[in-house]
Amino acid sequence: MSSDQDKDRAAIPLTRRQWLVLSVAASTAGCGGGSSLMVAGMPGTGGTGIGVRSTGPITGFGSVIVNRVRFDDSTAQVSLDGQADVATSLRLGMVVNLQGERDAAGLVGKANAIDVWSIAQGQVGSITGTQFVVAGMVIQTDPGTVLDGITSIADLIPGSWVRVWGLQASSDASTWNATRVALVQPGDLVSSGLCVLQGSNFYINGLRLTNTAGYQIQSGTLVRAQGTLADANSSLSLKSYVPLGLDATQPGDGEVEVSGLVTSMNSSRQFTLGNLAIDARLATLNGGVIAVGQRVEVEGRWQGGVIMANSVEIESSQSLDSAEIEAKIEEFTSLSNFVVRGQRCDGSGLKEIKGGSVADLKVGLKIHVKGVKQGEILYLTQLEIDH
């Protein structure tokens, strides 16, 4: 990173949560290292945790990091696309719906349940610049999109099979922002969007739904449909039909933390995040002015079908591109090519390795890394050996 970039980033005002992170880090700096925090207000630490529902992409591990809160996932029930799984299967960029508890400062928590749903799967159609079409959906990518099996979107070719995790980017749910794209083997088609009744048939992204017996289908709802193509690829024979979003299972008591893209504005402080109505008239706003297309993080409470926001933070490109992982090395070829928690890393630009040297790096060694996502590689800005 250039000195100019360092100056630019140093000039970015710290948010309330970032100040809290720095304060906690400073208070624990002389305690022998490690990343675990003993925080009052969490179960097992002498207090009571705050119930929370958190929705957003995974930005780190050690345990799982969502909306900048580090949730202990060691006892969480994990589900990937409706199938029971384990926390070690989670990957950067997967969008999760997490239920659990967090401390009052909003830094650490404990996950009870983590559900992950891919939002698209199928053959790539047309490709234009950094976006492509799959399953009738327009998929946008950006520098923060994690890739798996390809080095860049330019490597995609029409006909390739991909699975996509992402965030709704348009009011009609036909356009999505990809947080992770993976090459996969051919299988079922998955399409997510608004279910629309036309005549006597239901459609999602132009696909007519068939084999609908047993499913409670409602027009105008945001859903994920999975099945097999038929009728010259014009219809989808359902195998799975799942409502998406927090509004599908509105939380009761407790707080809500959600990150997403602003898809419409009713006023300067009342807007829609994906398909969620946000009232931020009494909220603290950090990072600028809210506008359509911006990625924001909202904290608040559910009230009558609307999230009443306590705070809204406009996410910077720096935060969207960054990630951190604390885990054991799974594969090691060199400092410029190793894998931790399923993520390929390149540390060739590092000036130092905290707690050791390159000679210490090997499979099974626990490390803590931070870096910038570029395609399928996490380019490291920090590597620390966990003793």
Are 176 and 182 a contacting pair, CB within 8 Å?
Answer: no
Transcribe 20-39 into DSSP letters: HHHHHHHHHTTS---S----
Q: Is 302 helix (H, G, I), strand (E, B) or coil?
A: strand
What per-residue confidence (pLDDT) applies to 17? 42
What per-residue confidence (pLDDT) applies to 33? 32
Picking from 111, 114, 116, the residue whose alpha carbon sits closest to that of residue 51 is 111
User: CA 227, CA 369: separation in Å to the nearest integer?
Assistant: 39
What per-residue confidence (pLDDT) applies to 103? 85
Mean of pLDDT over the chain: 86
What per-residue confidence (pLDDT) applies to 250? 56
Cis before residue 63, ω within 30 degrees of 0? yes
Q: How many H-runs (helices) and E-runs (strands) does the chain carry?
A: 3, 29
Picking from 203, 302, 314, 195, the residue whose alpha carbon sits closest to that of residue 257 is 302
Q: Is 299 helix (H, G, I), strand (E, B) or coil?
A: strand
Q: What are the φ/ψ torsions at residue 353 (nearest 5 degrees)?
A: -120, 115
CATH of the structural domain 320-385, one choice from 3.40.920.10, 2.40.50.180, 2.40.50.140, 1.10.1740.10:
2.40.50.140
Of the spans 30-34, 99-103, 117-121, 242-246, which averages the highest pLDDT?
117-121
Neighbours of 285 (CB within 10 A): 16
Fold of the 250-315 domain: OB fold (Dihydrolipoamide Acetyltransferase, E2P) (2.40.50)
Q: Mean pLDDT over residues 346-357, rounded?
A: 96
What per-residue confidence (pLDDT) applies to 378? 96
What per-residue confidence (pLDDT) applies to 104? 80
Neighbours of 108 (CB within 10 A): 24
pLDDT in tens, 283-329: 999 988 999 999 999 999 988 889 999 999 999 888 889 999 999 99
Fold of the 120-243 domain: OB fold (Dihydrolipoamide Acetyltransferase, E2P) (2.40.50)
pLDDT in tens, 7-55: 333 333 334 344 333 333 333 333 333 333 323 333 333 345 788 899 9
C-alpha torsion 195→192→96→156, nearest 10: -170
- Token duo for residue 48: 């009571």
Domain ranges of the chain: 3-70+93-111, 120-243, 250-315, 320-385
User: CA 369, CA 24: separation in Å to the nearest integer?
Assistant: 19
pLDDT in tens, 333-348: 999 999 999 999 999 9
One fold for both 120-243 and 250-315? Answer: yes
* Gap between the terminal Cα atoms of the chain: 28
pLDDT over threshold 70, residue 243: yes
Q: Mean pLDDT over residues 206-210, rounded?
A: 96
pLDDT over threshold 70, residue 209: yes
HEC sequence for 45-96: CCCCCEEEEEEEEEEEECCEEECCEEEECCCCEEEECCEEECHHHCCCCCEE
Given pLDDT bands bounded at 50, 70 and 90, which one contains residue 112?
Answer: very high
pLDDT in tens, 247-289: 555 555 578 999 999 999 999 999 999 999 999 999 999 988 9
pLDDT in tens, 170-182: 999 999 999 999 9
What per-residue confidence (pLDDT) applies to 141? 96
